[in-house]
Every structure is written in structure tokens, then in C-alpha cells.
Amino acid sequence: MPRRQTIQVAGFSHANPIPAAARVGPLLMSGLINGTDPATGSLAEGLEAQCACMFQQVRNVLAAGGGGPHQLVRMTVWLKDRAQRGPLNAQWLAMFPDADDRPARLSLQAGELSAGILVQCEITAWIE
């Protein structure tokens, strides 16, 4: 069994002592990724900005794990207001413009999010 690799990303942290992601062999799974601006470490203002920052953080986590968006298998997203998926879909289509080459995605209504967070996700990737 391959040893677990802890994935740390500059400009990305949790309040608790957990990494951005972990990888065992080709399987990478993240912790929660929200709309924190990677440049400032502060939560972006508004849903559009948080979605843009969240997708940038997804790219950063994948890169730190040795991969990229083409290796994303599934993204699970929690929205404060699931009816407001427009900004999420805009970033999704920008990252995955080919309808025949997209990972699975599940979007859920969040029960409760930390103060100011409007969207967050977790990812699963297969990086060979």
C-alpha cells in the first residue's frame, strides 16, 4: 500500500489542523475548499468572487497533488442558496467547456456554513 502524502497549498488553510488534501497512490481527496482568495488568504466578497476563488483553489490543490483539472473525477459543492447556481455554473463551464469531458458534480443546499461563506466544495481526483 502506498504511503499517504499530505498536500499543503500556499494561501490555503483550515481553522483546524487538517491539510488541503491527501493523496494515496493515484487517489487525491480534498478537505473543504471555499472562496478564500489565494493571494490574500481572506474570504472573497460575494458569490461570484467566491466561486472564482474556489475554482482557483481547486486548481492549486490539484497542482500541489501533481495533477490538473483533467484528472478531477468528482466535485461536491455546498451552496448557501442552491437556487443561485449561475456563478458556480459559469466557473464550471470555464474549467470544463467540453460537455463530453467533465467530471461528476453534486450541488447541495448547505445546512450551515461558517460566517460569510457562500459556497464550498470538496474534490476527488485520480492522478496517475
Which residue bears the cell 450551515? Answer: 112
Q: Provide CB contacts within 8 A for 30, sequence distance 6+.
A: 7, 20, 21, 58, 61, 121, 122, 123, 124
Contact between 88 and 54 under an 8 Å Cβ cutoff? The reply is no
The number of residues making up the chain comes to 128
**Lowest-confidence region among 3-7, 110-114, 122-126:** 110-114
What confidence tens digit (pLDDT) does each residue in 38-91 have? 999 899 999 999 999 999 999 999 999 999 999 999 999 999 999 999 999 999
- CATH superfamily of this structure's domain 4-126: RutC-like (3.30.1330.40)
pLDDT > 80? residue 1: no
Distances (CA, A) of 84 to 17, 35, 37, 72: 31, 15, 20, 23
Q: Phi/psi of residue 16, each to 5°?
A: -100, 165
